[in-house]
Amino acid sequence: MNRKSPAHRRLGRRAAVAAGLVLAVGLGVSTQVSAQAAVHAPAKASTTAPQSVSGTPGQAVTRVADFYGAYIDAKGDYTDPDVTLAAALRNHYLTPDFAKRLAAWEKKNAADGVLRAQNIPAQWTATDNGTVGNGHEVIVTLTFGSGETTQKTKLFVLVERYNHIVDIDTTSNR
């Protein structure tokens, strides 16, 4: 058979298919063995309590917590931050007037105005701080760094009519 004959090409294809089947079957067996071994391994006891998050639609603290959680997730992926999502979140949660003021603050301070920082926090919490005028204030505590080198920043987020954020500041409106 010459190299270009149809019979030679069929033999080559059959060899490739056979090699693929052997590889697939071999991988399937090794995966099953690994899975069976994992089933018989003793489970490790968890040393931390399970986490839970709850909220209620329409509550200012829930709305602010949702915003900060999603915003930090969007900005926090250092290899591929989702700037489109971060912009959409700002557009959805912030009033247009506040968004303009925030953009001016960011230009002046060379930092992210929502986070009041140039980097992304490792942790955050949102705590109800009560009614302020026609709105509601939520304290957002951002924790930057880890281990013994952490820094906490408190932000006071004011939510007013229609549950939109109208201000973020480092001092309370109370």
Q: What percent of the chain has pLDDT over 70?
A: 72
- Residue 80 or residue 164, greater confidence: 164
Q: Is the pTM of this model over 0.85?
A: no
135-146 and 123-132: which strand pairing?
A: antiparallel
Q: What is the pLDDT of residues 12-33, one digit of tens each?
A: 544 444 444 333 334 443 444 4
Contacts (Cβ under 8 Å, ≥6 apart) of 80 = none
Interval 107-144: pLDDT, tens: 999 999 999 999 999 999 999 999 999 999 999 999 99
Q: Give, rounded to a whole angstrom, the gap between the first and last alpha carbons of the chain.
A: 91
Q: What is the pLDDT of residue 21?
A: 39
Amino acid at 149: T
Element (H, E) at 24: helix 6-40
Under a CB-based contact definition with an 8 Å cutoff, are residues 153 and 169 in contact?
no
Looking at residue 17, its pLDDT comes to 41
- Answer positive or negative: Cα dihedral of 149, 154, 159, 165: negative
For the cut 50, the answer to whether the pLDDT of residue 151 exceeds it is: yes
* Long-range CB contacts for residues 53-61, cutoff 8 Å, separation at least 24: 58/163, 60/128, 60/135, 60/136, 60/137, 60/138, 60/159, 60/163, 61/126, 61/127, 61/128, 61/136, 61/138
